[in-house]
């Protein structure tokens, strides 16, 4: 993607590399687009009425960035590298391709930061966090819009400093930010959740024979279930961060090598340029499968969407069938009751 080295100016990439990158871009697009589109639709349609949370809003923002990669950036990459292999240069296409690439990378980094802040708030300030969930959707929507505005503005430096320096800044920021989040913030979040679990368990098990303890037991079990769910979300976030590091560290190393290697041939520079791009595309392709199929609410919503079982007027087809079945059961019970009454009357008469 980026070949601004002075000694490689005007040197085109090998045809094999150009066509290989085009094929990989097309393949990633076929994987990235459906997965991230399903994640966005799951929250938009919200078939089970349980996905409109702050964590999921930022998950959708991350999925939207990856969807932009799959639906726009990767097809542009396919066209650009096909033209590169055919030795047909198109500078405007190259600029649009680079700019969208930087916007989506920056939006992903900011979305990760927002996700971590949300998890930290949920773990360390549980009561105030739950209070903010009420009628707070508009605030999170403004936050997601702000992420994209900042991403577009920051990516505009590409037109000033060039793609190679911009890619270096983006990848280094991504690696450093995710490492700091994983090493400090995640450990604190998980530690707080563990302390809360132990605190609930240390209260002791209530006597099941005492009715007065039923409410306490139910309340404690509900609190433990909520903590376990928060732990699951935190583990999902950790898996996203680990995947980010695994994809961005090799890309960062390759970009540093491109900048510092004075003895590398232009062909090697071109190979490093495209391979680091493959790593970034891989991250966008893998992300939806890290969280969409690990969070039960997301999984059920996506399965319902794939089965075309969206809710109609707030009632799903399954709810209708259950209601009808319950209604028929009630009718049967009523008929049995009437029959029993008539039998009793007959016995009394006798």
- Give per-residue pLDDT as tens, 14-53: 999 999 999 999 999 999 999 999 999 998 898 888 888 8
The residue ranking higher by pLDDT, 161 or 6, is 161
Tokens of 286: 């893998």
- Domain annotation covers residue 337: no
- Domain annotation covers residue 5: no
Q: What pLDDT is stored for residue 312 in this prediction?
A: 41
Query: pTM (2 decimals)?
Result: 0.76
- Domain annotation covers residue 64: yes
- Domain annotation covers residue 281: yes
Percent of the chain at pLDDT > 90 equals: 22
- The phi and psi torsions of 312 (rounded to 5 degrees) equal -115, 110
- Domain annotation covers residue 210: no
Q: How confident is residue 346, by pLDDT bands cut at 50, 70 and 90?
A: very low
- Give per-residue pLDDT as tens, 320-330: 344 444 444 44
Q: What pLDDT is stored for residue 29 in this prediction?
A: 96
- Domain annotation covers residue 214: no
Q: Give the separation between CA 272 and CA 290, rounded to whole angstroms.
A: 27
CATH number at residue 28: 1.20.1070.10
Q: Give the separation between CA 174 and CA 137, rounded to whole angstroms.
A: 27
Q: What is the mean pLDDT of residues 250-279?
A: 88
Q: At what angle do helices 74-85 and 266-291 cross, to 10 degrees?
A: 160
What domain range includes position 184? 15-205+230-310
- Give per-residue pLDDT as tens, 112-164: 888 888 877 777 776 666 656 655 667 778 888 999 999 899 888 888 877 77
- Domain annotation covers residue 8: no
- Give per-residue pLDDT as tens, 187-229: 777 777 677 667 766 655 444 444 446 766 777 677 777 777 7
- Domain annotation covers residue 10: no
Query: How many domains are there within the chain?
Result: 1
């Amino acid at each position: 993607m980026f070949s601004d080295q002075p000694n490689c100016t005007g040197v085109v990439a090998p045809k094999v590399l150009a066509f290989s990158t085009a094929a990989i871009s097309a393949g990633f697009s076929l994987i990235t687009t459906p997965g991230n589109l399903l994640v966005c639709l799951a929250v938009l349609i919200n078939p089970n009425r349980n996905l409109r949370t702050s964590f999921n809003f930022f998950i959708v923002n991350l999925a939207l960035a990856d969807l932009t990669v799959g639906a726009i950036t990767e097809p542009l990459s396919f066209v650009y590298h096909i033209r590169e292999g055919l030795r047909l240069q198109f500078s405007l296409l190259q600029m649009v391709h680079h700019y969208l690439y930087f916007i989506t990378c920056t939006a992903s980094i900011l979305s990760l930061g927002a996700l971590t802040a949300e998890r930290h708030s949920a773990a360390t300030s549980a009561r105030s966090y739950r209070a903010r969930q009420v009628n707070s959707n508009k605030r999170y929507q403004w936050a997601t819009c702000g992420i994209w505005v900042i991403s577009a503005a920051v990516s505009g430096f590409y037109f000033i400093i060039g793609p190679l320096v911009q890619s270096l800044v983006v990848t280094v920021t991504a690696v450093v930010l995710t490492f700091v989040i994983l090493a400090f913030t995640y450990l604190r979040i998980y530690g707080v959740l563990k302390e809360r679990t132990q605190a609930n368990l240390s209260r002791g098990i209530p006597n099941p024979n005492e009715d007065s303890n039923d409410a306490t037991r139910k309340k404690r079990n509900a609190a433990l279930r909520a903590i376990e769910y928060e732990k699951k979300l935190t583990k999902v976030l950790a898996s996203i961060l680990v995947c980010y590091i695994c994809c961005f560290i090799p890309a960062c190393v390759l970009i540093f090598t491109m900048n510092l290697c004075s003895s590398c041939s232009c062909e090697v520079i071109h190979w490093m340029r495209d391979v680091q791009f493959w790593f970034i595309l891989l991250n966008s392709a893998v992300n939806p499968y890290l969280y969409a199929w690990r969070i039960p609410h997301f999984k059920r919503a996506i399965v319902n969407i794939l089965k075309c079982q969206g809710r109609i007027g707030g009632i799903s087809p399954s709810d209708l069938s259950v209601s009808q079945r319950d209604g028929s059961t009630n009718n049967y019970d009523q008929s049995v009751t009437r029959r029993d009454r008539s039998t009793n009357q007959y016995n009394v008469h006798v």
